[in-house]
Structure 1
Amino acid sequence: MKPPRPRPRGNPQQRAGDETVAGLAARKAAARLLAAVVDPRTPLDGLTDNEHGHPQYKALDSRDRALVRAILVTALRHRMTIAALLAKRLEKPLPPNATALAHILHVAAAQILFLDVPDSAAVDLAVTHAKSDPRTLRFAALVNGVLRSLARAKETELAPTLAATSEAPQWFVRRLAAAYGAGKGQAILEAHRHEAPVDFTVKADPQLWAERLGGIVLPTGTVRVERPKAAVTDLPGFAEGAWWVQDAAASLPARLFGDVTGQRVADLCAAPGGKTAQLILAGAHVTAVDTSKNRLARLAQNLERLGLSAEFVQTDLLDYRPAELFDAVLLDAPCSSTGTIRRHPDVPWTKTVADVEKLAALQRRLLARAVTLVKPGGRIVFSNCSLDPIEGEELCRAFLSESAEVIADPIRPGEFIGLDAFLTSEGTLRTTPADLALESPGISGLDGFFAARMQRAV
Structure 2
Amino acid sequence: MPKTASDLPESLAARMGALRLMAHVLRDGRMLGDGASGLEGPAAARALRLAGLTLRHMGRADALLAQRLDRQPAARTRDILRLALVEIFEDGAAPHGVVNDAVAMTRQSPKSVKQAGLVNAVLRALSGPEGRAEWDALPPPALPPWLRKPLAKAWGQDRLRAIEAAHLVSPPLDLTPKPDAQILPEGARLPTGSLRLAGGQVSALPGYEAGAWWVQDAGAAIPARLLGDVAGLRVLDLCAAPGGKTMQLAAAGADVTSLDLSEGRLRRLRENLTRTGLSTEIVVADALEWTPEAPFDAVLLDAPCTATGTIRRHPDLPHLREARDVEALTMLQYKLIDRALTFLRPGGRLVYCTCSLLPVEGEHQVTAALKRHPDLAAEAPDPAEFGLPPEAASPHGLRLLPDLWAERGGIDGFYMALLRRPE
* TM-score between both structures, scaled by the size of structure 1: 0.86
How many Å apart are 1:186 and its aligned residue? 0.8
Residue 129 of structure 2 corresponds to residue 160 of structure 1: no
1:347-376 per-position Cα deviation (integer Å, ceiling 9, x unaligned): 111111211232122111111111111112
How many Å apart are 1:444 and its aligned residue? 2.6
CA distance in 1, matches of 2:207, 2:391: 30
How many Å apart are 1:174 and its aligned residue? 2.6
How many Å apart are 1:64 and its aligned residue? 1.7
Which of 296, 300, 305 is the aligned partner of 1:330? 300
Residue 77 of structure 2 corresponds to residue 76 of structure 1: no
Which of 156, 159, 164 is the aligned partner of 1:181? 156
- C-alpha contact (below 8 Å) 1:15/1:131 kept by paired residues: no
Which runs of 5 or more structure 2 residues have no equivalent in the other structure?
Answer: none
SS, match of residue 249 in structure 1: coil
- C-alpha contact (below 8 Å) 1:406/1:455 kept by paired residues: yes
How many Å apart are 1:338 and its aligned residue? 0.9
- What does residue range 224-243 of structure 1 map to in structure 2 within 5 Å? 224-228=196-200, 231-243=201-213
- C-alpha contact (below 8 Å) 2:383/2:398 kept by paired residues: no
- C-alpha contact (below 8 Å) 1:220/1:419 kept by paired residues: yes
CA distance change for structure 1 residues 422 and 272 in 2, over 3 Å: closer, same or farther? farther
How many Å apart are 1:226 and its aligned residue? 1.9
Q: Determine the structure 1 residue equivalent to 2:90.
A: 114
Q: Determine the structure 2 residue equivalent to 1:350.
A: 320
CA distance in 2, matches of 1:114, 1:425: 36
Q: What amino acid sits opposite 2:359 in the alignment? A: P
Q: Determine the structure 2 residue equivalent to 1:426.
A: 395
Q: Determine the structure 2 residue equivalent to 1:9.
A: none
CA distance change for structure 1 residues 20 and 273 in 2, over 3 Å: closer, same or farther? closer
CA distance change for structure 1 residues 390 and 349 in 2, over 3 Å: closer, same or farther? same
CA distance in 1, matches of 2:340, 2:383: 26
Q: Determine the structure 1 residue equivalent to 2:187.
A: 215
Of residues 443-452 and 34-43 in structure 1, the stretch that sits farther from structure 2 once superposed is 34-43
The alignment covers a number of residue pairs equal to: 421
Residue 422 of structure 2 corresponds to residue 446 of structure 1: no
Q: Determine the structure 2 residue equivalent to 1:3.
A: none
CA distance change for structure 1 residues 224 and 348 in 2, over 3 Å: closer, same or farther? same
CA distance in 2, matches of 1:189, 1:130: 32
Of residues 60-69 and 346-355 in structure 1, the stretch that sits farther from structure 2 once superposed is 60-69
1:250-280 per-position Cα deviation (integer Å, ceiling 9, x unaligned): 1110011122222111011111211111112
CA distance change for structure 1 residues 276 and 422 in 2, over 3 Å: closer, same or farther? farther
SS, match of residue 236 in structure 2: strand
Residue 126 of structure 2 corresponds to residue 150 of structure 1: yes
CA distance change for structure 1 residues 269 and 405 in 2, over 3 Å: closer, same or farther? farther
Q: What amino acid sits opposite 1:222 in the alignment? A: S
Residue 107 of structure 2 corresponds to residue 139 of structure 1: no
Residue 231 of structure 2 corresponds to residue 261 of structure 1: yes
How many Å apart are 1:167 and its aligned residue? 4.6
Q: What amino acid sits opposite 2:396 in the alignment? A: G
CA distance change for structure 1 residues 119 and 381 in 2, over 3 Å: closer, same or farther? same
Q: Determine the structure 2 residue equivalent to 1:33.
A: 21
CA distance in 1, matches of 2:422, 2:410: 36
Q: What amino acid sits opposite 1:128 in the alignment? A: A
Q: What amino acid sits opposite 1:452 in the alignment? A: A
1:285-338 per-position Cα deviation (integer Å, ceiling 9, x unaligned): 111111112222321221122121111111111111111011110001111111
Of residues 33-42 and 68-77 in structure 1, the stretch that sits farther from structure 2 once superposed is 33-42
Q: Determine the structure 2 residue equivalent to 1:309.
A: 279
Of residues 379-388 and 34-43 in structure 1, the stretch that sits farther from structure 2 once superposed is 34-43
How many Å apart are 1:425 and its aligned residue? 4.5
Which of 204, 210, 215 is the aligned partner of 2:179? 204
- C-alpha contact (below 8 Å) 2:382/2:393 kept by paired residues: no
Q: What amino acid sits opposite 1:192 in the alignment? A: H
CA distance change for structure 1 residues 217 and 290 in 2, over 3 Å: closer, same or farther? same
How many Å apart are 1:437 and its aligned residue? 3.9
- C-alpha contact (below 8 Å) 2:5/2:39 kept by paired residues: no
Which runs of 5 or more structure 1 residues have no equivalent in the other structure?
Answer: 1-13, 48-53
Q: Determine the structure 1 residue equivalent to 2:342.
A: 372
CA distance change for structure 1 residues 448 and 364 in 2, over 3 Å: closer, same or farther? same
SS, match of residue 171 in structure 2: coil
- C-alpha contact (below 8 Å) 2:2/2:8 kept by paired residues: no
Q: What amino acid sits opposite 2:92 in the alignment? A: D
- C-alpha contact (below 8 Å) 1:386/1:450 kept by paired residues: yes
CA distance in 2, matches of 1:20, 1:412: 58
How many Å apart are 1:405 and its aligned residue? 6.0
Backbone CA RMSD of aligned residues: 2.2
CA distance in 2, matches of 1:341, 1:417: 23
CA distance in 2, matches of 1:268, 1:248: 20
How many Å apart are 1:412 and its aligned residue? 4.1
How many Å apart are 1:155 and its aligned residue? 2.7
Q: Once superposed, which parts of structure 1, at least 4 consecutive aligned residues long, lie more than 6 Å away? A: none
* TM-score between both structures, scaled by the size of structure 2: 0.93
SS, match of residue 382 in structure 1: strand
CA distance in 2, matches of 1:77, 1:218: 25
